[in-house]
Chains A and B, each alone.
Chain A
């Protein structure tokens, strides 16, 4: 029996319980008040968070306005601040990460739902979840001391040789190999988002009706044809929602990105060059701002991140809701 919250009816035999009534009324009201207070506290935290971040950013917002978003300065000496290069860094690093993470995650989810022998399914599923549990600061440490040198020494030259000659896209793969930069950030963010996107995608794949899959196989479809004609069409919206949630995670990741991206203001065509994202610029400034307007500009960056996070959350929610509507119909 599906029950809505609040299904607990008051005891029918109210008259019978007059003796212990006082204590129970106290308990009922007390627990209800406590739970309600906790629930309201979480609303207050969310509202207070948004209010506080925007009020801290207020000075920068009134000084720079929306021009902050399109200005590429970060100059504490002359008190000129802008977020354009960090927005660029955030966009390239998180979109790049999801570009790699999405096909990987879908493949892993297919492996876990369609292919893996039972033992491997639990083992690989658990290991992928453990990967999600590795603290980002440890991933960043590994990124700067192990991954960075490997990328600089072998993968970046190989990518430059393979793709550097392309007319326009080739500029992304310059010959400025570096220990730190956008590319290691993309790789680290890929590692952080694959567990999220793949576990969500796996849950979506698990909702594909077995009858439809068996029907396709019975008609003589190969496994890939069954996946292409039954599993993927059924899951398309859900995969998009999962990718958006992964994108939200990648955009908001501060620590591991700060460790590997190099923290340089300015836009460089090559993804091998150092850069900075909104989140990593905030994290990089933790040792203190020299002026109020700089502190406020940092909060402005946080406000942009907050708006982005809300937008991603809302987008994923809209997609999931349309999905629920479809399955009910």
Chain B
């Protein structure tokens, strides 16, 4: 073998290596570019979601603030022109309060059954039913309560509306209460029983207090949800008078149906009032959710330290 040949084979090998390296580098660059493109898409999607939220909130805030003044909050709805939402605010407060009184104690008792007292199989079955109930479209709940209460009584009523809202709230309250009860460590239950407390004493004075703030969070989120629900009210309490009505046996004026009707109206004055009512509703929902979230963060910290 002579030298030139050897040299050329070395050169060849070097060239092959260099080109392979270059190709590898090229491919690496492409792979990195693909990854960066996907990163950019994920950032864009997150920004889009935040942007849509901002667009809705800003629209409601700007257009709603223009409509709200003292008379808007103290006058009742009117068929033509001005008027306010006082009667709708009062009605929604009553509707949601009655629904909460029906749904929250029941929901917490259901959770105590599924988490603490019931056997494993019945508990799973009940939770399955709650899942199904939570998945029923709320307009169907409205049709149900329409047939259950409105048809036999031949008239809409605030009570029917509250029952419909309570059906929507019940699975939310029960499921969230079940989740927080399951977070309570068994050592607490055993400690209660070891001290000689009976089952119900242990549940009532050890387990439930430990889970209390979490249960309040779930209940508050359900209240926020109910306050904005329109569909269950359409067939139960939507044909109401333009004055303050506090008797739940009559149809109660309420905020969601008022916004719904005004948004369908061709009248710009009604549109402005719909924005005003929407702002009031949105502030309430946001406030309640923020309080609920703060409570839940605190409760989780406390349960964490108990563990």
Is A24 located at the chain interface by the 8 A CB criterion? yes
A38 to B208, CA, bound (A): 17
Residues of chain A whose beta carbon lies under 8 Å from any beta carbon of chain B: 1, 3-11, 13, 16-17, 20, 24, 27-28, 30-32, 34-39, 41-43, 45-46, 48-49, 52-53, 55-56, 103-104, 107-108, 110-112, 114-116, 120, 124, 126-128, 130-131, 133-142, 144-146, 191, 194-195, 198, 222-225, 227, 245, 248, 251-255, 258-259, 279, 282-283, 286-287, 298-299, 302, 305-306, 309-310, 312-313, 317
Q: Which 3 A-B pairs have the closest CB atoms?
A: A135-B228, A252-B137, A107-B45
Which residues of B are interface residues toward A (Cβ below 8 A)?
31-32, 34-35, 37-39, 41-46, 48-50, 52-53, 55-56, 59-60, 105-107, 109-110, 112-120, 122-123, 126, 129-133, 135-141, 143-144, 146-148, 151, 167, 170-171, 174, 186, 189, 193, 196-204, 224-225, 227-231, 234-235, 238-239, 256, 259-260, 263-264, 271, 274-275, 278, 281-282, 285-286, 289, 293
Rounded to whole angstroms, the CA-CA distance of A126 and B293 in the bound complex is 10
With A42-B110, A49-B136, A133-B285 as given contacts, are A139 and B120 in contact (CB-CB < 8 Å)? no
Whether B196 and A17, one on each chain, are in contact in the complex, defined by CB atoms closer than 8 angstroms, is yes
B136 — which chain A residues lie within 8 A by C-beta?
Answer: 46, 49, 252, 306, 309
Given contacts A135-B285, A313-B135, contact A31 B203 (CB under 8 A): yes
Smallest CB separation, A307 vs chain B (Å): 10
Find chain A residues with CB under 8 A from B113 CB.
35-36, 38-39
Instruction: Kindly identify which residue among A1, A35, A302, A317 contacts B110, using a CB–CB cutoff of 8 Å.
Output: A35
Q: A1-B186, A141-B274 are in contact. Are A13 and B198 (CB under 8 A)?
A: no
In the bound complex, do residue A259 and residue B110 qualify as a contact, i.e. CB atoms below 8 Å apart? no
When distances are taken between beta carbons in the complex, the residues of chain B under 8 Å from A124 are 46, 49-50
Assess whether A6 is in contact with B123, with CB atoms less than 8 Å apart: yes
How far, in whole Å, are A27 and B19 apart by their CA atoms in the complex? 83
Indicate if the CB atoms of B263 and A145 lie closer than 8 Å. Answer: yes
Q: A28-B198, A38-B113, A133-B224 are in contact. Are A53 and B53 (CB under 8 A)?
A: no
Assess whether A38 is in contact with B129, with CB atoms less than 8 Å apart: no
User: Given known contacts A141-B275, A223-B35, A286-B238, is B137 in contact with A253 (CB within 8 Å)?
Assistant: yes
Among B117, B132, B189, B256, the residue within 8 A (CB) of A46 is B132
Residues of A with C-beta under 8 A to B122: 39
Known pairs A107-B46, A138-B282, A259-B260; A5 contacts B116 (CB<8 A) = yes
B204 touches A31 (CB 8 A): yes
B141's partner among A31, A49, A140 (CB-CB below 8 A) is A49
- In the assembled complex, the CB of B87 is this many whole angstroms from the nearest CB of chain A, namely 17
* A41 contacts B234, C-beta separation under 8 Å: no
Chain A residues with Cβ below 8 Å from B105 are 38
Residue pairs across A and B with Cβ atoms less than 8 A apart, 17 shown, are A7-B186, A31-B199, A35-B116, A38-B110, A39-B110, A49-B140, A111-B45, A112-B46, A115-B39, A120-B46, A137-B260, A145-B271, A146-B55, A252-B138, A283-B139, A299-B147, A306-B140
Question: Chain B contacts of A145 at CB under 8 A?
Answer: 263, 271, 275
The residue among A39, A107, A120, A254 with the most chain B CB atoms within 10 A of its own CB is A39
Contact check, A9 vs B132: say whether CB atoms are below 8 A apart: no
Q: Are A36 and B118 in contact (CB under 8 A)?
A: yes
B119 and A6 contact, CB distance less than 8 A: yes
Q: Which one of A116, A137, A223 has the greatest number of beta carbons of chain B within 10 Å?
A: A137
Instruction: Looking at the assembled complex, report how far the CB atom of A45 sits from the nearest CB atom of chain B, in whole angstroms.
Output: 6
Q: Which residue of B lies closest to A313 (CB)?
A: B135
Are A225 and B31 in contact (CB-based, < 8 A)? yes
In the complex, how many angstroms separate the beta carbon of A150 from the nearest chain B beta carbon? 10
Across-interface contacts of A104 in B (CB, < 8 A):
45, 48-49
State in angstroms the CA–CA spacing of A230 and B35 once bound together: 14
Decide if B289 touches A130 in the complex (CB within 8 Å). yes
A205 to B255, CA, bound (A): 39
- Whether the Cβ atoms of A279 and B120 lie closer than 8 Å is no
Contact A42 B137 (CB under 8 A): no
Question: Contacts A46-B132, A49-B144, A255-B231 given; 10 further ones with Cβ under 8 A?
Answer: A11-B198, A42-B126, A42-B174, A104-B48, A111-B45, A128-B49, A142-B56, A224-B34, A302-B139, A309-B136
Q: How far is the CB of A277 from chain B (nearest CB, A)?
A: 10
Judging by beta carbons under 8 Å apart, are A140 and B112 in contact?
no
Instruction: Give the contacting residue for A6; candidates B118, B143, B224, B263; CB below 8 A.
Output: B118
